[in-house]
Structures are given as C-alpha cells and as structure tokens.
Amino acid sequence: MVETTTESRTRVTAAEAEALLHDLVSIPSLSGAEAEASSHLADWMTRHGFLTEVDETGSAVGERGSGSREIVLLGHIDTYPGEVPVRTEGRQLFGRGSVDAKGPLAAFVVAAATADPPPDVRLVVIGASEEEAASSRGARHASMRYRPEACLIGEPSGWERLTLGYKGRLNLAWSWEGALAHSAGPTPSPAEVAVETWRWIESYAASFNEDRHDLFRKLSPSLLSIQTARQGTFGHAKMEVNLRLPLDLTPAELEQALRKGIPSGEMRYWGHEVAFQASNDNSLTRALRSAIRSEGGQPRHVHKTGTSDMNVVGPVWRCPIAAYGPGDSRLDHTPDEHIDLDEYQNSIRVLQHTLATLMAPGGSAGPS
C-alpha cells in the first residue's frame, strides 16, 4: 500500500467529483490496458485519505479504515472498445466509460472518500481490470483476497434502482470445413451449413424457453459474426455465438447440450459464467432503499440480461450484494454513451447515506 500524504482530506466538492469523472473518462482504458487510468485513480485516492495500490492485476485499490469488518465497493475501470469524443453538453458528459462503468466507479470513490469509518470497519474500493474482456481478472483476484460482509458492484442502474441479478454467459466459436460441389447440386454450401447450425441453436433455445415469458428466465442466443470462404475444392465457415443463461441452466450443462446436438463442425467455448441472483431483503438492500427515499427517489429492483463482476464474486463471498450506480444502461457500448451529471451527484449522496448505515454497529449484519 502507498501511504497517504499530508494533503489527504475527506471533503470532496461537487466540482471535484465531476472533475474526477471527467478525467477518468478522458483516459482510454481498454481491457488489458488500464495502467494509466488505474494510476490516475490511485493517485486521486491517495490525495483523499486512502491507502492505495495498483495491484498485480492492474486494478486500482483504495482502503479507508483498518477494522475487521470489510465493506467492498467493486467497480471496473476498463471499458468497451470504441471512441466516443469526450465533451460536455449542458449537464451531460459524453465519453466511453461514462456510464459503463466509470460513472459508478467514480461515485464509489467519492462516497468512500467522504465517509468516516469507525474503528472496526475497513472500506475497500476497487477499480477492477478486465471486466469487459470476459476474464474479469481484477474481480477474480479480489474474490480470493477479501471476505466482505457487504458488497456493492459498480454498474449503471439509474440512481433510483438497484440490480439484484445477472444472467449467465457462454461464448461459442464454431468452425467447419468441407468439400465443395457444384452449386446446382444437393451438397450444402459453407454458408448453408453455418445457417443450419445457427437455426439449430435457435430451435434449441426456443424449445428451452417454451412457457417462459420473463426474459431473465430465458436462454438468449445472439449471433455475433458469421464468415464463409472458398479455397480450391474446399469451403470454410466460422461463426461466433453469445448465449445468455437463466438461473436454472449452467454453462457446463449448456455446453454439453450443444456439443451433443450441433450437427457438424468444431466448437470452442469460453466465458463461462453462472447466472446469479441476490436477496432483495438484507441489510444492504434496506440501506440502499432508505437512502434512495431520503433523496426523494422511488427505489426499484431490477435484473439484467448481461453479466457483471457480481457473477464472479457473489457465489464466493455469499454476503449481502447488489449492483448500483448512475447512468442509463441502455447506453452501454453505444456511440452515444453519456451520463447525466446531476444523476451522478444524486448517486453519490445515496452511497454516502448507504455507507453510513452499513458502517453503524450491526449495520451489515443480515442474510445474503
């Protein structure tokens, strides 16, 4: 850990909070290339009263307090690819990562900087690496390093909402090679073989989803890419598919079904994540709902059809957990990604209230 300097303080103005977010959004930090952004965030935390480090995974980590009761605020500092010019229009801040998920991460850092941990509490803020790369390297490292009694995941939910569940994931890379024949004959072309394979996957999902009306309970396949080529007397086809899984289907079970059922080709699987759902009634969710109401909001619970680092740490830590943060998740990964700075400020106040409640004696006790 890097010792805090004599300039450390626990007061952060609204302008400073917005400057932190603007600076983080201005620093590119694709998965695996987070070093500059992590260093900047660690420096900011050091100046504001944290013990800090950039750990072996490239994650920025800050701690306040030294007690045995750990409360972890786990965000991610890497972003999805694609440039979104950083600019401010009124109270809207545009830029890659403004919503997913530097907005929630910056809100975590500011709220923790202004908290006053009692002697028995240690607040840990993590700007994790490689969340967008499906490896979740930073979160996997943190899952082995900490044992919190409560955890917040930094993902956009909108300042009045908290996310309690994420679907699972399985990625498939399929490839095929076969002899060609005249196009007038019955032998299928590489493109037809690929289409037949995709239709089998669609049919399998439709059968699985029969009588399931809630999207969170459905198996959702997405065709990411398809390529075909001819080389001499042979044809080639490639396809990538992303599958989002409900709570009652594990990646291993789905992989087994696909291997058994897909009619031809070679298959490679990765990105295995089991779906996860947290409790909606524990010390953390009660604190969040109360904090949202205190700011004039109407709290709601939501479930997401994607994945997050909650899928990684939730099953390991088994503590009260929820995802929270400012921003409209519909803007994730889009060329129009932007965050409302007033919502960002609202979320900081909600987090401040939430942390104060959790840090009180017995504040984090309760079932997960």
Q: What is the CATH number of the domain that holds 284?
A: 3.40.630.10
Helix (H) or strand (E) holding 33: none
Contact 26, 18 (CB under 8 A): no
**Active-site annotation holds for 116:** no
Residue 185, amino acid = G
Q: Which ranges in the chain belong to alpha helices (H)? A: 14-26, 35-47, 102-113, 137-145, 190-208, 251-261, 283-294, 310-317, 341-359
Kindly state whether residues 159 and 46 are assigned to the same domain: yes
pLDDT of residue 11: 87
Same domain (yes/no): 290, 279: yes
Closest CA to 275 of 298, 253, 301, 294: 253
Domain-located, residue 350: yes
Q: Is the pLDDT of residue 182 over 70?
A: no
Q: What is the 3-state secondary structure (H, E, C) of 85-99?
A: CCEEECCEEECCCCC
pLDDT digits (tens, 9 = 90+) for 193-234: 999 999 999 999 999 999 999 999 999 999 999 999 887 778
Higher per-residue confidence, 179 vs 40 = 40
Of residues 177, 141, 333, 318, the one with CA closest to residue 242: 333
63, 100, 131, 160: the active-site residue? 131
Q: Span 32-58, mean pLDDT?
A: 97
Options 18, 34, 63, 78, the catalytic residue: 78
* 161-175 tens-digit pLDDT: 999 999 999 999 999
Q: How far apart are CA 92 and CA 95, in angstroms?
A: 10
SS3 call for 50 = coil
Residue 323 has pLDDT above 80, yes or no: yes
The length of the chain is 368
Residue type, 220: S
Residue finishing a domain among 245, 273, 301? 273
The number of C-alpha atoms within 13 Å of 330 and in the hemisphere containing its C-beta is 0
| In contact, 169 and 251? CB cutoff 8 Å | yes
Q: How far is CA 307 from CA 19, 25, 174, 277, 288, in A?
A: 29, 22, 22, 11, 21
Confidence of residue 189 (pLDDT cuts 50, 70, 90): confident
364 in a structural domain: no
Are 160 and 96 within one domain? yes
Q: Percent of the chain having pLDDT more than 70?
A: 94
- The whole-model pTM stands at 0.92
Per-residue pLDDT, 181: 58
Least confident of 28-37, 76-85, 355-364: 355-364
Res 365: pLDDT: 56
| Residue 7 placed within a domain | no
Q: In this structure, is residue 365 part of a structural domain?
A: no
Is 131 among the residues known to form the active site?
A: yes
H or E element that contains 161: strand 161-166
Please report whether residue 4 resides in a domain. Answer: no
Main-chain dihedrals φ then ψ at residue 361, nearest 5 degrees = -55, 125
Let me know whether 193 and 245 are in one domain. Answer: yes
The structure tokens listed for 62 are 């800050």
Nearest to 29 by CA among 127, 113, 170: 127
Q: What is d(CA 275, CA 294) in angstroms, rounded to the nearest whole number?
A: 32
CA distance 199 to 249: 20
Q: Domain count of the chain?
A: 2
Q: How many CB atoms lie under 10 A from the CB of residue 209?
A: 15
Burial degree of 89 (CB within 10 A; 0-12, 13-18, 19+)? exposed
Please state the rounded mean pLDDT for residues 266-284.
96
Predicted confidence (pLDDT) per residue in 104-157, tens digit: 999 999 999 999 999 999 999 999 999 999 899 999 999 999 999 999 999 999
Last residue of a domain, one of 239, 273, 307: 273
Structure-token pair, residue 85: 């010019």
Distance (Å, whole) CA 285 – CA 157: 14
pLDDT at position 9 is: 40
204 with 56, same domain: the answer is: no
Please check whether residues 18 and 145 belong to one and the same domain: yes
Is the domain of 156 the same as that of 175? no
335: pLDDT strictly greater than 50: yes
Segments forming the whole domain that contains residue 77: 14-166+275-359
Same domain, yes or no: 184 and 118: no
Last residue of a domain, one of 273, 295, 314: 273
Q: What pLDDT is attached to residue 239?
A: 97
Distance CA(199)–CA(77), nearest Å, equals 37
Sign of the dihedral through C-alpha 8, 9, 15, 16: positive
Residues 297 and 313 in one domain: yes
- For residue 201, the domain's CATH number is 3.30.70.360
One domain for residues 220 and 137: no
**Whether residue 185 has pLDDT greater than 80:** no
Are 120 and 214 part of one and the same domain? Answer: no
- The reply to whether 93 and 119 lie within a common domain is yes
Strand order in the sheet with 92-94: 87-89, 92-94, 338-340
